[in-house]
Amino acid sequence: MKEVIVCEGLTFSYNGYQALDGLSFTVRQGEVFALLGPNGAGKTTTIRVLNGLLHAQSGQSRVLGLDPALQGAQIRRRSGVLTETPALYERLSAWQNLRFFGSLAGMPAEKIGERGAYYLDLFELRDRADDRVETYSKGMKQRLALARALLHDPELLFLDEPTSGMDPAAARQVEGLIYRISKQENRSVILCTHRLYEAEKVCDRVAVMKTGSVIACGSLEELRARYASEIRIRLGFGELPPQEYLLKIRALEGVLEAREAADTCWELRLAAEKAIPMVIANLVSVGTPIYSAVPQQATLEDIYLRLQGAEAEEE
Amino acid sequence: MIKLQNIFTIAKKDWLEVRQNKYAWAPMLIVPAIFVIIIPLIFTFVIPALAVSPQDVLTSDADFQIFIDHMPLQLSRYIDFQNPMESMLVIILGIMFAPMFLIMPLMASTTIASESFAGERERKTMEALLYTPASDAELFLGKVTASAVPSIALTWLGFAIYTLILNLAPYAYIQRIWFPLPTWWPLIFWITPALVILGISLTVLISARVQNFLGAYQSSASVVLLVVALFAGQVSGMLYLSVGIEMLLGLLFWTAAALLTALAVRTFNREALLKG
B75, amino acid identity: L
Q: What are residue A257's DSSP bridge partners?
A: A269
Distance (Å, whole) CA B70 – CA A7: 73
Terminal Cα distance for chain A, rounded: 37
CB contact under 8 A, A87 and B134: no
Residue B245: pLDDT band with limits 50, 70, 90: very high
Is a pLDDT exceeding 70 seen at residue A163? yes
- Residue of A75, A103, A134 to mutate, interface with B, max B Cβ within 10 Å: A103
Least confident span in A64-73, B1-10, B27-36, B185-194: B27-36
Distance (Å, whole) CA B115 – CA B218: 12
Whole-number Cα distances in Å, B257 to A146, A179, B150:
40, 53, 18
Terminal Cα distance for chain B, rounded: 27
Residue A313 has a pLDDT of: 52
CA torsion A303-A307-A309-A314 (nearest 10°) is 150
Residues with Cβ < 8 Å from A304, sequence gap 6 or more?
A: A36, A196, A208
Task: Outline which parts of chain A fall under CATH 3.40.50.300.
Answer: 3-225
**Min distance A17 CA to chain B CA atoms (Å):** 11
**Min distance A54 CA to chain B CA atoms (Å):** 5
Residue B65: pLDDT band with limits 50, 70, 90: confident
CB contact under 8 A, A101 and B271: no
**Min distance B191 CA to chain A CA atoms (Å):** 33
Give the count of Cβ contacts less than 8 A between chain A and B. Answer: 71
Least confident span in A91-100, A271-280, A284-293, B83-92: B83-92
Please name which of B96, B112, B101, B89 lies closest in space to residue B23, comparing C-alpha atoms.
B112
CB contact under 8 A, A76 and B128: no
Task: Outline which parts of chain A fall under CATH 3.30.70.980.
Answer: 230-297
The DSSP-derived string for B5-40 is HHHHHHHHHHHHHHHH-HHHHHHHHHHHHIIIIIHH
Which of A52, A85, A91 is closest, CB to CB, to B17?
A91
Q: Are B141 and B230 in contact (CB under 8 A)?
A: no
Q: Are A214 and A27 in contact (CB under 8 A)?
A: no
Residues B258-274 pLDDT 10s:
999 999 998 899 998 88
**Min distance B120 CA to chain A CA atoms (Å):** 9
Distance (Å, whole) CA B117 – CA B166: 37
Whole-number Cα distances in Å, A93 to A97, A130, B67, B112, B259:
6, 5, 54, 20, 38
Q: Which of residues 212 through 251 in chain A touch B, CB cutoff 8 A?
A: none
CB atoms within 10 A of CB B77: 9
Residue A105 has a pLDDT of: 96
| Residues from chain B contacting residue A132 (CB–CB below 8 Å) | 20
Average pLDDT over residues A205-233: 93
**Min distance B218 CA to chain A CA atoms (Å):** 22
Is a pLDDT exceeding 70 seen at residue B57? no
Is a pLDDT exceeding 90 seen at residue A219? yes
Is a pLDDT exceeding 60 seen at residue B187? yes
Distance (Å, whole) CA B4 – CA B135: 11
Residue of A nearest to B131 (CA): A76
Residue A315: pLDDT band with limits 50, 70, 90: very low
| Residues from chain B contacting residue A77 (CB–CB below 8 Å) | 133
Residues A5-28 pLDDT 10s:
999 999 999 888 999 999 999 999
Is a pLDDT exceeding 80 seen at residue B59? no
Least confident span in A213-227, A245-259, B78-92, B98-112: B78-92
| Residues from chain B contacting residue A74 (CB–CB below 8 Å) | 133
Residue B73 has a pLDDT of: 79
For chain B, the average pLDDT equals 88
**Min distance A87 CA to chain B CA atoms (Å):** 4
Residues A22-39 pLDDT 10s:
999 999 999 999 999 999
| Backbone conformation region of residue A106, classed left if phi is above 0, alpha if psi is from -120 to 50, else beta | left
Average pLDDT over residues A38-57: 95
Fold of A3-225: Rossmann fold (3.40.50)
Residue B161 has a pLDDT of: 96
Of the segments A115-124, A227-236, A270-279, which one has the largest average pLDDT value?
A115-124
CB contact under 8 A, B125 and A73: no
The DSSP-derived string for A188-244 is EEEEE-S-HHHHHHH-SEEEEEETTEEEEEE-HHHHHHHH--SEEEEEEESSPPPHH
Task: Give this prediction's pTM.
Answer: 0.85
Residue A88 has a pLDDT of: 96
Domain A230-297 has CATH 3.40.120.10: no
Q: Are A4 and A27 in contact (CB under 8 A)?
A: yes
Three-point CA angle B19, B22, B23, nearest 5°: 125
Residues with Cβ < 8 Å from B190, sequence gap 6 or more?
A: B246, B247, B250
Residues B128-153 pLDDT 10s:
999 999 999 999 999 999 999 999 99
Question: What does DSSP say about strands A290-296 and A231-237: parallel, antiparallel, or unpaired?
Answer: antiparallel
Is a pLDDT exceeding 70 seen at residue B104? yes
Residue B97 has a pLDDT of: 87
Residue B51 has a pLDDT of: 64
| Backbone conformation region of residue B155, classed left if phi is above 0, alpha if psi is from -120 to 50, else beta | alpha
CB contact under 8 A, A101 and B130: no
- Residue of A89, A93, A153, A157 to mutate, interface with B, max B Cβ within 10 Å: A89
ipTM rounded to 2 decimals: 0.86
Average pLDDT over residues A148-177: 91
Q: Which of residues 47 through 106 in chain A touch B, CB cutoff 8 A?
A: 48, 51-55, 72-74, 76-77, 81, 83, 85, 87-92, 96, 100-101, 103-106
CB contact under 8 A, B270 and A83: no
